[in-house]
Homo-oligomer: A and B are copies of this chain.
Amino acid sequence: MPLKRFDRPIILGMVGDSASGKTTLATGVARILGEDRVATICTDDYHRYARQERAKNGLSALDPRSNYMDIMEQHLALLNQGKPILKPVYSHEAGTLVAPEYVAPKPYIIVEGLLGYTTRAMRDCYDVKIYVEPDEDLRVDWKIQRDTARRGYTREQVLASLEKRKADSPAYIHPQRVFADIVIQFKRPDGQSQERGRHLDVRHILRPTLPHPNLAPLVDAGAKNELSLDLARDHDGKPVDVLGISGAITDQRAAALENLLWDLIPEASHLRANVGEFTDAENQQVVSHPLALTQLLIAYHMVKAALGIHAI
């Protein structure tokens, strides 16, 4: 069933540090929403300076002053209005901006990147704001895995790059966490210091800035050690719900939970798709239940936001 019409796209923000799982999450959400109805853009393309210029002026690539923040704002606002943009493209190979890319409006837009929530004007453009925050040792492992396997770096180069950018994360990335509706924390189960994939646990910190679904039936359907929902204080002291999904959840139970989640958005049942896939250390596509359920919960919010505006 095609989308009949839309006045403006529903925009998902996916912000977090380098290699924190933004693309993996976004890919699954796009698959659920229908890849032909989703445009994904990356705010890391808005670099003001080429790598060589940054080496000269001493600015980090993560520094907002190194980026066309006003153009990023403008483009988010245009996308929000359903307008096309000519998005800059930064080539990581060349270290320079190259030919820009035309992005046509789609019913759903996913905006991922490091600095997407920096200004108020940017934040106002999103319908759903996610911040991804895996355990730091896990993120480091993910970064080494990705950058050595797919970006041609050595392990030592990745570690040196992490060391060099050490001050940037608290300065520019972490302050955006407070603006997210949901903070997603992948973490290793206790005592499993090597796990980095399908058996990771996940915690969702749910802020009351979005109408979260009633998760009680979900939690009741899960075994106690597989699924939990707890009232807690976030580390800034603010009240939040914390949804926990264990990496040890059985296939059967996970499927039942997926069904329950789909039941919450009956208007979107035609969107059902296999979710939760990611690329593991052996470069294989495998499925993680906590990842799948996370993607589904995010898609739930996107679909609900769309229902407020247009038919699905």
Contact = CB atoms under 8 A, between A and B. Distances in A.
A62 interface: no
19 contacts: A48-B102, A50-B99, A68-B86, A70-B84, A71-B84, A71-B85, A74-B78, A74-B84, A74-B85, A86-B86, A86-B88, A86-B100, A88-B99, A96-B99, A97-B99, A97-B100, A98-B98, A98-B99, A100-B100
Nearest to A84: B70
Contacts of A48: 102
Contacts of A100: 86, 88, 97, 100
Given A71-B84, A96-B99, A98-B98, 8 more contacts: A71-B85, A71-B86, A74-B78, A74-B83, A74-B85, A86-B100, A98-B99, A100-B100
Interface string A154-188: 00000000000000000000000000000000000
Contacts of A99: 50, 88, 96-98
Contacts of A68: 86, 102
A207 to B, nearest CB: 32
Q: Find the residue from A71, A74, A100, A102 having the highest chain B CB count within 10 A.
A: A100
